[in-house]
Amino acid sequence: MTYENLLVEREGFIVKITFNRPKTLNALNSSTLRELESCLTRLRREEKDQTRVVILTGAGGKAFVAGADISEMSSFGVDDAREFAELGHRVLDLIAEAPFPVIAAINGFALGGGCEIMLACDLAYASDRAKLGQPEVNLGVIPGFGGTQRLIRRVGLARAREIVYGCDMIDAEKARDIGLILEVFPHDELESKVTGIAQHLASKAPLAISQAKRVTEKGYDESLWAAHELERQAFGLLFGTEDQTAGMKSFLEKTKAEFKGR
C-alpha cells in the first residue's frame, strides 16, 4: 500500500501507519482522511487475517497530528464542512469499530482532529514532549470529528468542557493524570515501548480481543442489561473458535498457545 500522506509499514501482525505531512505538522486534510479510510478498509477486509494490531503515529518528530488542515478548512462553506465532518466521523468510526486494537503513539502535538483521532483509538501512549488539546473554539468552531462526545466519555463532563472552552494545551503528564492517555514515555523510547505493547497484544487470541473490543465499545452506551446481553453472546460465540480450544488445552497441558485467529 502506498499513499501520498501516509506511510504504511507492516511487521508480522503489526501495521504502523504514520501521518506523513511533517511540513504542516501532519495536519489532516481531506485527502489524508480519504487515504486513512482506504487503508483501514483494506486492513479490515483483504488483510484481516494478517492484522492483529495497528499503531498510529506522526512523522517529523514534532507532531502526531496538529489538527484538521486549517488552510483547507478556511475556505469551506456549510456543505463542505458537513461533508468534511462526515468523512472524519466515518474514518474515526473505522478506528473505533475495527476488529483489532488501534494504538495511538502520541509523539508531539495532538491537537483538534489529532486529539479526536487519539480518542477513537483503543489505547494511547505519549512521549514526554507531547501536547494535547482541543483548540477549535479559538477558530470559531467546535471539535467536529466526534471529539466532544468521546472526550466526555474519556475524562468526564466538567474536564471535557474545561478542555474545549479554554483551548489550552495539556502536557503529557497532566494528560495521563486526567485519564486522557495511559502512560508517558521518554520521547526516544516511545516507539520501542509502543511496539512492545503491540507485540504483547498480537500474541493474544485475536478473535477474543476483537469481541472484547466490540462489547466494550458497543456496550458502553447501552443499558447494563443490554450490555450484559452483548457480553453473553460474545462469550458464547468464542466457544465456537479454534483459539478457545487451543487456549484452554494449552492451559491444561501447561504449554503456550499459538493463536490462529480462527
141 binds ligand DAK (CB under 6 A): yes
Give CA–CA dist 151/241, Å, rounded.
35
DSSP structure class, residue 46: T
Active-site hit among 46, 86, 136, 242: 136
139 binds ligand DAK (CB under 6 A): yes
Size of the site for ligand DAK (CB under 6 A): 24
Give CA–CA dist 105/83, Å, rounded.
28
Give CA–CA dist 112/133, Å, rounded.
6
207 binds ligand DAK (CB under 6 A): no
88 binds ligand DAK (CB under 6 A): yes
> Smallest distance from the beta carbon of 72 to ligand DAK, in angstroms?
8
Active-site hit among 9, 86, 116, 173: 116
69 binds ligand DAK (CB under 6 A): yes
- Give catalytic status of residue 136 as yes or no: yes
33 binds ligand DAK (CB under 6 A): no
Give CA–CA dist 112/11, Å, rounded.
30
> Smallest distance from the beta carbon of 178 to ligand DAK, in angstroms?
19
Residue pair 106/129 in contact by the 8 Å Cβ criterion: no
Of 105, 30, 120, residue with least CA distance to 61 = 105
* Contact with ligand DAK (CB under 6 A) among 109, 125, 185, 259: 109
> Smallest distance from the beta carbon of 84 to ligand DAK, in angstroms?
4
84 binds ligand DAK (CB under 6 A): yes
Give CA–CA dist 90/125, Å, rounded.
23
Give CA–CA dist 34/84, Å, rounded.
10
185 binds ligand DAK (CB under 6 A): no
DSSP β-bridge partners for residue 124: 104
Strand order across the beta sheet in which 170-171 lies: 63-65, 109-111, 131-133, 170-171
- Give catalytic status of residue 116 as yes or no: yes
* Contact with ligand DAK (CB under 6 A) among 81, 157, 237, 248: 81
Give CA–CA dist 150/167, Å, rounded.
16
* Contact with ligand DAK (CB under 6 A) among 91, 102, 106, 112: 112
132 binds ligand DAK (CB under 6 A): no
Work out the burial of residue 115: count CB atoms within 10 Å of its CB; fewer than 13 is exposed, 13-18 middle, 19 or more buried: buried
- CB closer to ligand DAK out of 54 and 92: 92
> Smallest distance from the beta carbon of 40 to ligand DAK, in angstroms?
18
Give CA–CA dist 53/197, Å, rounded.
10
Active site residues: 116, 136
Binding site residues, ligand DAK, CB under 6 A: 24-25, 27, 66-71, 81, 84-85, 88, 109, 111-113, 135-136, 139, 141, 143-145
